[in-house]
């Protein structure tokens, strides 16, 4: 896995790492049992402090997505935590978009609201 850091976003670097791993797991680019790069490898590739990588990996471990193995590295867990029913989430989002459009908001407004909510929740 290759991490990409964008310092212009205003999103903390460790949060960017967490988001990228979560997305890779969701999309199947990372599968259960896959090994993540070491903190040193990530730090060398991205130019960030290894402690930042450790912080991201700890957060992923707390979320149940990865597990450290002494002397072997950090791996995507074999049993991932259950994911909410995506179909239900899409229906709820669709209903919200319908209400927002009926209230006179446009696509730019919707994107701004969503981005603000995500930033508020993930840091």
Q: In terms of pTM, does the model score above 0.85? A: no
Indicate whether 7 belongs to any domain. Answer: no
Contacts of 67 (CB under 8 A, 6+ apart): 61, 74, 75, 77
69 sits in the region (left: phi over 0; alpha: psi -120 to 50; else beta) called beta
Q: Which domain holds residue 92?
A: 86-122
User: What's the mean pLDDT when you consider all of the chain?
Assistant: 89
Indicate whether 51 belongs to any domain. Answer: yes
pLDDT, average across residues 13-30? 90
Burial of 65 (0-12, 13-18, 19+ CB in 10 A): buried
* pLDDT single digits (tens) 51-107: 999 999 999 999 889 999 999 999 999 876 666 666 677 788 889 999 999 999 999
3-state helix, strand, coil in the chain (%, to 5): 55, 5, 35
| pLDDT value of residue 45 | 95
Same domain membership, residue 17 and residue 43: yes
At residue 50 the predicted structure's pLDDT band, cuts being 50, 70 and 90, is: very high
Same domain membership, residue 72 and residue 23: yes
């Amino acid at each position: 896995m290759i991490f990409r850091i964008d310092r212009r976003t205003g999103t903390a670097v460790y949060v960017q790492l967490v988001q990228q791993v979560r997305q890779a797991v969701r999309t199947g680019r990372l599968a259960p049992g896959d090994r993540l790069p070491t903190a040193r490898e990530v730090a060398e590739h991205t130019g960030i402090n290894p402690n930042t990588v450790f912080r991201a990996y700890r957060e992923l471990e707390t979320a149940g997505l990865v597990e450290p193995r002494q002397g072997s590295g950090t791996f995507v867990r074999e049993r991932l935590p259950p994911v909410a029913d995506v179909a239900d989430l899409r229906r709820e989002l669709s209903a919200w978009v319908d209400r927002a459009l009926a209230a006179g908001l446009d696509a730019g407004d919707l994107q701004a609201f969503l981005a603000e909510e995500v930033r508020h929740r993930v840091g």
